[in-house]
Homo-oligomer: A and B are copies of this chain.
């Protein structure tokens, strides 16, 4: 997992727009618009208008829209991994609890009225393999790589024989619960995927 400078991203959420420097104001506005709608349906002009910034200022800070999109994704990734680290650490030392804390964190984020699914799955949908935006695609690939590494680091202490399979199962439950929450807002048993992860982990532990 590459280290990432989160200083740029962390307090973007709490501060109000006009208390931020132009670059942060652009990033905050773009982040909300990109996530609420989609990247392709939000134009530079709208981001500039809503962030109250001049066009030249925008292009001084972000050389292209693709670079802004990649920065937005890195921003979301930093926030998400920060939340994951906090949640798993607070869950105590037991590996099982730490993995299950992921699903508690997910369920909490589903409650937000602004929840719109996983930014990275949605990014994959918009920027497929044929898209000519290498920075965006590299950012997406890095996220999925890092998430897998993170889950593996939580599962690793269990010393399971088939660790790779269990990691893939947990990842599937994570992504699947995100899709479920996005596709059927509320009409879904919130604890179901958490319970599933518990059953799978306990079964894997028993098998050794």
Contacts and interface: CB of A to CB of B under 8 A. Distances in A.
Instruction: Quickly give the copy total for this chain.
Output: 2
A36 B169 contact: no
A193 B168 contact: yes
Contacts of A192: 164-166, 168-169, 172
Interface in A144-199: 144-145, 148, 164-166, 168-169, 171-177, 179-180, 182-184, 188-189, 191-193, 195-196, 199
Contact of A125 (B121, B140, B191): B121
A195 B165 contact: yes
B199 A36 contact: no
Given A128-B116, A176-B173, A192-B168, A183 B41 contact: no
A203 interface: yes
Given A125-B125, A126-B38, A184-B148, A195 B177 contact: no
Nearest to A148: B184
Contacts of A195: 165, 169
A91 to B, nearest CB: 21
